[in-house]
Every structure is written in C-alpha cells, then in structure tokens.
Amino acid sequence: MKAAAYHRTGPPDVFEYLDVPDPECRSSGVVIRVEAVSIEGGDVLNRAGGMLTGDPHIVGYQCAGTVVEVGESAAAAGAAEGQRVVVTMANGSHAELVSVPYASVWPVPDGADIVAAACVPVAFGTADDCLFEFGKLVGGETVLVQAGAGGVGIAAIQLAKRAGATVLATASSADKLERIGHLGVDHGINYKEHNAAEEARRLTDGRGVDLVVDPVGGSTLQGSLGALANRGRAITVGNAGRERIAIDASPLMGINGSLTGVFLGAEIATPRVREMIGRHIADVASGDLEVIVDRTFPLADAAAAHAYIESRAAVGRVVLIP
C-alpha cells in the first residue's frame, strides 16, 4: 500500500509518499480501506517533533473508510466486510489501509458523507467533553470559544448554542468570523484587533463568561482566565499555539474560578464517550450538526496539506484523500 510517512520529524517536507507493507488483520480487528483522513492537531505536532513508533513512521489518528478484512473474533462481534466506518487510532491514518481493533470503530450511517464522518470523533468528542462533562455548561450561561474556526471550535460553537448558551467565539480575521457565524456565534471577536478577554467582558457588560474552551494554550490561555465571571470555568485542551509559558492561576482565586485540563484520549474507549461520539456522527449524517471541510488534498500531497494547516488559513478541517 501507499502511505505518507517520514523517517525523522521536522517541517512538512519530511513526508515521503512510500510503498509500505499492507497491515495485518488481527483476530479482534478489521482492516479498513481508507477513503478520508481528517488531519488532527496532534498529527501536525507529532510530525513536527513527536515520538516515532516505526521507521518509517505513519502518522495520524483519525480516518474513515470501508472494512475490507475481518478478524475471527471481530466477525463474532458483528464486523463485516463492506461496513462503512470511522475510526481513531494511536497512529497510522495517513495510508491507504489501516488495521485497528473493531472496538475502536463507529459505523457511518447509510448515505452519510464519508469525508464529513472522518472529521467527527476527535473534534466533536473533545468539544462535548469540554462543554459538558468537565465544563458543566447549562442553558442560559455564556461560553467563550477560543479558536472558533478550528475543528474543536466549530464543534463547540454548535453544541453550546444547541444547549441554550450565549456563544462568543474568537478568530484571526473578519472573514473567518463571517464563515462560522451561521453555526451559532452570538458575538465574534477578532483577536488580531481586540484583546479577547477585554472584549468578552465588554460584551457581557463587565460580568465575564461562565466557561471558556481554549484549545490554543500559552498566552491565549492566560487571557482566557481573565475573561471569566465569578465561579467561571476555563478548559484547556491542547496547545495549538505551541507556546510554552508558565500560567499564572492567581486570577482564579478572587472569583472562585477553576482551570481544568481535558484529554479525550484518556476516556475515548469508555462506553460514555463511545455513545456520545456515536450520537454526533448520527447528527452530522442527518444534518443536525455541520462539519466544515476547508480543503482536501491527495494523500500523496500530505506535505502540502500539513503546510496549509500550519499557515493557519484554514476554516475547519483539512482532509487527505488516498
């Protein structure tokens, strides 16, 4: 099979389009012919400087496609050739075939767009956990979604609005804010022109927001703490800004505020998360939730796709098509 892989970490041009052995099917697993790869933030970070699990290393932890081979115990559990599925894994999605445990796949509803389905589990699962499981968001509250034009941001805007929240979202340009406005943004904040925390306070008549979902980290996270209302909750989920600074948590003391870290991967195999992600896949398939795909690239052009993500021009997901 073909794969986009690398022998060393670094900039996007470390990618090579290689012939590698087809993966073996395990008894409890399935082999999937990949039809769409959602490039996740962790894929970009791994390629830039993460751990290599093979030589060459095939990066990527989310894709969708069709089951083409089934292990014996997986067949007993209901797996069958021809099933359309979306799957998460530790690595390996940037390839024509993937071998995964059957327990890590979700069925894609008949008629659903396979590209949209490929983008659901990590983004929508993460957003849901940030908002509800750990953020404790309820209707009538106000939430600030940092990086609203990213995958988690787009999911969080929709889920928060559907729950009855007032939604503030940040992006780096008026164009990006316009492109996500229909998802449920009540107030957009261009962080290139305004201090996001100060603007959030202005838009809430000085009160601040009840919850912040922050996938950026660094100085953006520090600002997020300053946007909180009394008893406000800040959720940090990743470090998309790649900025390593010490966070001063002292602003939380005066408001009885909290800062919680969220990592979907720690609970993605639990029945709670599997059921929750399954609901979001169904809602995307029915049109009740929306995936925005900014651009698709052939798998052979993985380097260009990663470079495009790093340009920060994308709104929504960037997808590879084998």
| Domain boundaries, given as residue ranges, for the chain | 2-119+291-321, 122-265
CA nearest neighbour of 238 among 256, 258, 213: 213
pLDDT for position 246: 86
pLDDT for position 243: 75
Q: What is the mean pLDDT of residues 222-242?
A: 92
pLDDT for position 169: 98
Assess contact for 268 and 88: CB atoms under 8 A.
yes
Helical packing angle, 121-128 and 271-286, nearest 10°: 110
Q: What is the mean pLDDT of residues 112-139?
A: 98
pLDDT score of 307 more than 80: yes
pLDDT for position 10: 97
pLDDT for position 241: 66
Q: Which residue, chain included where needed, has tokens 């060393």? A: 8
Q: Which CATH class is domain 2-119+291-321?
A: alpha beta
pLDDT score of 70 more than 80: yes
pLDDT score of 95 more than 70: yes
Distance CA 182, CA 207 (A): 25
Segment among 189-193, 211-215, 239-243, 250-254 with least mean pLDDT: 239-243
Mean of the per-residue pLDDT values of the chain:
96
pLDDT for position 242: 72
Distance CA 35, CA 116 (A): 11
Residue 34: which residues within 8 A CB-CB, separation 6 or more? Answer: 63, 64, 65, 93, 95, 96, 97, 98, 322
Q: What is the mean pLDDT of residues 119-141?
A: 98
The DSSP letter of residue 299 is G
pLDDT for position 60: 97
pLDDT for position 244: 79
Distance CA 86, CA 240 (A): 24
pLDDT score of 176 more than 90: yes
CATH match for 122-265 among 1.10.3720.10, 3.40.430.10, 3.40.50.720, 3.40.50.10490: 3.40.50.720
pTM: 0.96
pLDDT for position 274: 97
